[in-house]
Amino acid sequence: MKYISKVVSLKLNAEKCVGCGMCLEVCPHNVLRMEGRKAVIADLDGCMECGACMTNCAFGAITVNKGVGCAAAIINSLLYGGEPSCDCSGGKGRDSCC
Amino acid sequence: MPEIKLTIAPGTFKELKKPPYATGTVQSAIGKVWQVPAELTTADKFGIFRCRTSAYRNDYKVEPGLYAIGQPGGASDIIVTANYKYSFDVVRRALKGMSAWILVLNTKGINVWCAAGKGTFGTAELIKRMQLAQLDKLSERKTIILPQLGAVGISAHEVRKATGFKVVYGPVHAKDLRAFISAGHKATKEMRTMEFPITSRMALVPMEVIPMLKKYPFFALIVLLAFGLEPSGILFKNAIGGGLPFLAFGLGSIFTGAALTPALLPFIPTRSFAVKGWITGVVGTGLLMSAFPHFNTILLGITLLFFPVASSYIALQFTGSTTFTGMSGVNKELKTSIPIYLFSVAVSVLLLIVYKIIEWRVL
Ligand code: SF4
Ligand code: SF4
């Protein structure tokens, strides 16, 4: 299943990438792939902007505008200010949490 | 990275009173550690069932700290999880027959995924718990296993820098932990991928439907008032007679937006949840309308304008439960749909007023 195309903010800077493969390990949607000795974005639309790859790239090669893809959270942050967060909790990915 | 200060004396966690889920203690290099069974009690299983079927539970927590499964030693695996009891329970259940350490972070009773998003399942908390539990003395392996979904909040290289421990990301689902460990800390592509199958989607449906049903009485009240309102007062007969179709359409929108759209998600055209919900809403409203063939044109207009849009709005809420929608996409959807929602509601209200004016023959 894919979400809306060509909106994802994920960027990979090939110059900084050393090909350690950590970003591939943490991505739950197989967005990244190794091509030769560098990671590349193979499936941009598959990215849910969780930011796991960015946080775990020791070389700062990945940037993404990380956030929650939840309408209620974004509407709440529009109405009451603050960052959108899943404060209503338990929702997203709950049954897959361990 | 925030500075970590060790405020509690090392070993304090051992002196905590026995938690109800602990069955004994094991001896380790750092002294006694609470032992927990891998077998869940009936109450634990019921707890898992409740967590999966009903809304988030506020006070379903375990005490953060170190626990033992089986008889672990210095060479045993250390598995990190959140202090939401559900998270803790599915991890220990997955470790049945094995010996391992479980390090529970204080995520304020929130599951790994949500806590990682907020940062409570985060680098600073992990390092602090590792130090409190004296993992450097406990473990010869210098490796900890984290749930993959925790990676959002954890920076593996920072943990290594601060503690010397290597972070290994385990599978997305706790149930794959055993296979991951026996494969020598190797995850298959399947273990690394967050799927969103129909079973998960259906399991989430009650959590979409119930909050909407809670709002439904307000909607019903407005409808009944609008139809019952007469210059002479509120007529019960008119309220029911005129309002009934709208009450049915309202339920229909909840059904199509909160149940049908999630269930049929990949089969409904377009990637936009708002459009998906609108499509199911049009179909649902259309089908229901055939039950009321003698509808007047204005009411027909309101129906077609309002109820598919309501279904669309409700369907959009499901982005919060999916495993693949990102913030940029939802933002884009909201930018186009909110004006449409507001416009549709405003026009519907106007049409309703026109309808009442004609009905009352005041003009
Ligand atoms: S984690 Fe960073 S350096 Fe490593 S492969 Fe990915 S982008 Fe390249
Ligand atoms: S932000 Fe998340 S989903 Fe997107 S590429 Fe990175 S790890 Fe994968």
Query: For the segment B16-25, what is each residue's pLDDT rounded down to a tens digit?
Result: 678 889 999 9
Residue A34: its H or E element = strand A32-35
B210 in contact with chain A, both atoms CB, cutoff 8 A: no
Each residue's pLDDT tens digit, A60-90: 999 999 988 889 888 888 888 777 776 554 4
pLDDT at B335: 95
B149, B175, B326: residue with CB nearest A28: B149
Counting the structural domains of chain A, the total is 1
B331 in contact with chain A, both atoms CB, cutoff 8 A: yes
Nearest CA in chain B to A44: B326
Separation of CA A64 and ligand 1 centre (Å): 13
Tell me the three state secondary structure of residue B32.
Answer: strand
With tokens 């049903």, the residue in question is: B213
Q: CA–CA separation, A83 vs B356, rounded Å?
A: 43
Long-range contact pairs involving B49-52 (C-beta distance under 8 Å, separation at least 24): B51/A90, B51/A94, B51/B86, B52/A94, B52/A95, B52/B203
For CATH 3.40.50.11600, list the domain ranges present in chain B.
Answer: 24-192
Computed over every residue of chain B, the mean pLDDT equals 90
Residue A32 bridge partners (DSSP):
A41
Q: Residues for chain B: how many in total?
A: 363
Query: For chain B, what is the total number of helices (H) and then of strands (E)?
Result: 14, 9
pLDDT at A92: 39
Q: pLDDT confidence of B171, banded at 50, 70, 90?
A: very high
Each residue's pLDDT tens digit, B32-56: 999 999 999 998 888 888 877 665 5
pLDDT at B35: 94
A82 in contact with chain B, both atoms CB, cutoff 8 A: no
The parent domain of residue A49 ranges over 11-80
Q: Is the CB of A52 under 6 A from ligand 2?
A: yes
CA end-to-end span of chain B, whole Å?
A: 70
B9 in contact with chain A, both atoms CB, cutoff 8 A: no
| Choice from A32, A62, A64 to test ligand 1 binding pocket (greatest atom count within 8 A of CB) | A62
Q: Residue B6 pLDDT more than 50?
A: no
Separation of CA B230 and ligand 2 centre (Å): 57
Class of domain B24-192: alpha beta
pLDDT at B4: 41
With tokens 């007679």, the residue in question is: B241
Long-range contact pairs involving B288-295 (C-beta distance under 8 Å, separation at least 24): B288/B245, B288/B248, B288/B249, B288/B252, B289/B245, B289/B249, B291/B245, B291/B248, B292/B245, B295/B245
Each residue's pLDDT tens digit, B232-252: 877 777 788 889 999 999 999
Please indicate whether, in this complex, the C-beta atoms of A28 and B94 are within 8 angstroms of each other: no
Q: Which residues of B220-237 are buried (b: 16+ CB within 10 A; e: fewer)?
A: eeebbebbbbeeeeeeee
Contacts of B267 (CB under 8 A, 6+ apart): none
Which residues of B, range 43-62, sit inside 8 Å of A by Cβ?
A: 51-52, 55-57
Please indicate whether, in this complex, the C-beta atoms of B324 and A51 are within 8 angstroms of each other: no
CA end-to-end span of chain A, whole Å?
A: 22
* Residue A79 with chain B: CB contacts under 8 Å: none
Q: Which atom of ligand 1 is nearest to the CA of A53?
A: 1
Each residue's pLDDT tens digit, B309-359: 999 999 999 998 888 999 999 999 999 999 999 999 999 999 999 999 988
Q: Is the CB of A61 under 6 A from ligand 2?
A: no
Q: Is the CB of A10 under 6 A from ligand 2?
A: yes
B57, B147, B189: residue with CB nearest A98: B147
Separation of CA B69 and ligand 2 centre (Å): 33
Please indicate whether, in this complex, the C-beta atoms of B87 and A97 are within 8 angstroms of each other: yes
Q: Is the CB of A49 under 6 A from ligand 1?
A: no
Whether A44 maps to a domain, the answer reads yes
Separation of CA B109 and ligand 1 centre (Å): 32
pLDDT at B360: 84
Mean pLDDT of all residues in A30-49: 96
Please indicate whether, in this complex, the C-beta atoms of B207 and A91 are within 8 angstroms of each other: yes
Long-range contact pairs involving B302-307 (C-beta distance under 8 Å, separation at least 24): B302/B348, B302/B351, B302/B352, B302/B355, B303/B245, B303/B246, B303/B249, B305/B344, B305/B347, B305/B348, B305/B351, B306/B249, B306/B344, B306/B345, B306/B348, B307/B249, B307/B250, B307/B252, B307/B253, B307/B281
Which of B54, B176, B323 has the highest number of chain A CBs within 10 A, making it the mutation to test binding with A?
A: B323
Q: pLDDT confidence of B122, banded at 50, 70, 90?
A: very high
Mean pLDDT of all residues in B241-269: 95
**CATH of residue A66:** 3.30.70.20
CA dihedral B27, B31, B37, B38 (to 10 degrees): -90
The residue with greater pLDDT, B57 or B65, is B65
